[in-house]
Every structure is written in structure tokens, then in C-alpha cells.
Amino acid sequence: MKALTLYAPWAMLMATNHKHIETRTWYTNYRGPVAIHSAKGLPNYILDLARDAPRTFGAIRERLGQQLGIYDLADLPRGYIVAIGELIACCKIPDRATIYPVSGGIIKSLRLPPYEPEFLFGDYTPGRYAWVFQNIRKVDPMVPALGKQGLWEWRDHNLPISKTHS
């Protein structure tokens, strides 16, 4: 199974169905299941969100605090496969708001850049790419794993997946 490593707040936002778009600098042709991995490291810029991006920090803290009872970003689970989602589209982020048709899933169209709060959870700089996920399911209990850069191959498929969908 393919896997994608994200830093803890974004991985956990996906696992709790608050984030459905991951932004990247690169395009992928891959479509299908992806294990969402929460990176072991937590860069200082993420810990500085409260000061540097209070709206983003507030949105993250509100959603994860309500659902997980975790209010400090440093306390989020790291180094685990936390969710499985289906990657259904990869769209270039435009200079101005655009509606894209999406095939192969529940989502029939996509507005880029998206409205808040999804907008707060990604870098929607024109020219980057929006990876669109659906049917995201939390892995419970989470499975320890070492992450990698890029879209990587993960071999352990015996996952305890919850029944919730997006």
C-alpha cells in the first residue's frame, strides 16, 4: 500500500476527518488507497503556529482538542500510521478560485483554493498541487511505522480501521 508522511497536526486532522486535501509541490498520477503516516519529528515552525499563524493554530487546536482531547501540538501522536484514505484527484492550484470536476468518488467537484477551515490546513500557493482524499478512516489503535519522504510503499496491511468515513 502507498503511504504519505505528514507532520502530526495535519496527519491527525486527516485521521479525524477535518482535512481532506493535502498540498504538495509535486504532482502524482497515483490514485487509490494511501496510509497516512504522522511524522516522528515536529519542526519548530509547527510549534510556533500559535504565534505565527494564530487562526491556523486556533482551528487545529479546536478540532483536535474537541475530538482527541489534545490541545498541545507537541502531545500529538507521532511515528504512527493514523489513517487510511483514498486519493481520488491531484489538481494544480490555480491563480484564482476555480471549480474542478472530480471523478471516481463521492466528491463530484472541488473548489480550489477551498473555503475555511480546509484552507487553513494547507499551502494553497498557486502552482502547488492539491491531493484530494475521500473515505478517510482512522486506524485505531495506531500502528508504529517509520516514515519516508514522497509517496512510499508501506507493507503492513493488517490495520485496525474504524468504520467512520468522510
Q: How far apart are CA 81 and CA 35, in angstroms?
A: 6
Q: Which three cell numbers stand for residue 112?
A: 480550489
Q: Specify if 166 maps to a domain.
A: no
Domain membership of residue 158 (yes or no) is: no
- The answer to whether residue 24 sits within a structural domain is yes
Residue 163 lies in a domain: no
Domain annotation covers residue 161: no
Quick check: is 159 in a domain? Answer: no
Which CATH number is 61's domain given?
2.30.130.30
149 belongs to a structural domain: yes
Per-residue pLDDT of the chain (166 residues; tens, 9 = 90+): 999 999 999 999 999 999 999 999 999 999 999 999 999 999 998 888 888 999 999 999 999 998 999 988 899 999 999 999 999 999 999 999 888 877 766 667 788 999 999 999 999 999 999 999 999 999 999 999 999 999 999 987 665 555 544 4
The answer to whether residue 164 sits within a structural domain is no
Instruction: For 44, list phi and psi in degrees, rounded to 5.
Output: -60, -35
